[in-house]
Amino acid sequence: MKRVVYDESDLSSDPDDKQKDTSAKEVSDAEEELEDADMEEEDEEKAPEKPPEPPADDKEVPKDEEEEKEGVEDDDDDDEAQDDDEDTEDTRQLLDNAQDDESVQRLIQSSLGQLARDGGSPSRELILAYASCVSSNPSKFQHPTTLKAMLRLLRSTFQGRERSSSVDKKAKPKPPREVRGVLPLAVLVANLLATILKNIPQNEWPDDCLKVFVDDSLHSRSWVDHSMCSVFVDMIKAHIAAAPSTDASVQRIMEHLSSKVTEIKKGGVNPTTFKHVMLTLMDLTPLPQGRLMASSNLELWFQHTTHKTIARDLLLKISCTTLDAPDLDTVENLLNMKFKTVSFPQLKSEVFTMLVRQRPEYINVAFKVVLLKERLAATLKDVDNLKMMPLIFRETAQGGHDSKDEQEPDNDVVFKRSPQHQHPGTATSRALAMVLQDLATASSNLPTLKNTLRK
């Protein structure tokens, strides 16, 4: 037998049931319409209201209100001016009332020192207070500890770049740009120190003068290259030229520079540091140690095409004046340098000309260098070596003759021949003869000397 399944919907075929279903559907449709209407009303309520229209500009402000506002602004300006004047008077009064060095140092640390630590710039009132006090009574700031406290403010750590003796591969922060119309703290301190040190003998200057100069010259050069610090920088350069080479501070500075040069040779130093080292050595050429260090590394530095112009300026800045061992070594280093004729075709001639004119004793060194290069001609391959021989004679001949050869004729003696001046190249020929005689003592030099004289 087949099983028949009945659908329940078919059972409600009664007309009453159908009417109930239709009425239920109508009720549900009405409820949905009401819900949609409520949702639309809520959306309208949530919509952002239009901003109120700004008041019209045509409305005139009462004159009384404008006058009151202007009066308030004028009063504020007057109050600020009075406050600035009071600050100036307070700082100046504190500086004038300071009777001992400790109180002066406390004032410097609380005002200028705090600005250095915060990286701020001095206000106009503070500048006027210190400038007037230092100019009127510079002796109050001449104590060594006071000078040291002011020189400490010129360190590179306070100029936007940290001081580090090691090579830092990370990018260092650039020094902050100067705002127009704002005087940097380093410029103020440098000018104050120039006024104070003007009345102190150079042999009594603190060693920190040279230290902070080299420190800023090697790093940010924020005040060394500043036009408003030129007076103080020139004073330090004059102090370097007069400083004895055996001074302990000079020795420490040269050791620090030597470590920087070693870093450059190892690599990993950015071009800015490389440039600053050459510029610093350019200022230290009055010292024999500075000249020797520069001459020992110039041949390597000329290979860097980026700063070859600075290297040339450093080379021509070297001026040897003594017969001490550092200067003699410097002369030999410069004469033995190999120059690329493409970059500087006349630089070799300029170096020989400069050196033989500085001292007559350097002529012997020049001849010796040229002759020894001929011995190693197969390895050096210096085609311009022998061209320096006539150059030496020509440049020394332009210097004239010795004064001892100039004698006045004796008019009392009859038929006496007037004295003849020696040839301008006599002294140079004598120097060449001495060098040849010295080199001829070694039998290994004889073949080279024979071929050289034949050429």
Total of domains in the chain: 2
Residue 124 lies in a domain: yes
Residue 370 lies in a domain: yes
Tokens of 52: 């109120």
Residue given tokens 């045509």 in the structure block: 58
Handedness of CA 166, 172, 173, 174 (dihedral sign): positive
Tokens of 163: 């001081």
Question: Is-contact 316 354, C-beta < 8 A?
Answer: yes
**123 CA to centre of own chain:** 25
Residue 366's nearest CA partner among 338, 333, 397 is 333
* C-alpha span between 283 and 65 (Å, rounded): 65
Going from the C-alpha of 451 to that of each of 189, 378, 435, 438, the distances in angstroms are 65, 13, 16, 17
Residue 432 lies in a domain: yes
The runs of H, that is alpha helices, within 285-387 are: 288-301, 308-317, 325-335, 347-358, 361-375, 377-380
pLDDT at residue 424 in the model: 67
Measured between alpha carbons, how far apart are the two ends of the chain, in Å? 139
Q: What 3-state DSSP class applies to 142?
A: coil
Q: Which residue among 138, 171, 201 closes a domain?
A: 201
Question: Is-contact 221 156, C-beta < 8 A?
Answer: no
Question: Is-contact 214 175, C-beta < 8 A?
Answer: no
Residue 41 lies in a domain: no
Residue 358 lies in a domain: yes
Residue 209 CB-half CA count within 13 A: 25
Residue 324 lies in a domain: no
Going from the C-alpha of 24 to that of each of 7, 11, 17, the distances in angstroms are 21, 18, 11
* C-alpha span between 109 and 358 (Å, rounded): 49
pLDDT at residue 158 in the model: 74
Residue 190 lies in a domain: yes
pLDDT at residue 171 in the model: 44
Structural Rg of the chain based on CA atoms: 43
Residue 112 lies in a domain: yes
pLDDT at residue 58 in the model: 46
The range of the structural domain enclosing residue 88 comes to 81-161+183-201
Is pTM beyond 0.75? Reply is no
What are the per-10-residue average pLDDT scores of the chain (455 residues)? 48 48 53 55 50 49 53 51 53 77 86 87 90 90 91 81 38 48 87 94 90 91 94 94 81 86 76 88 93 91 84 92 92 87 78 91 91 72 80 78 44 49 75 86 81 76
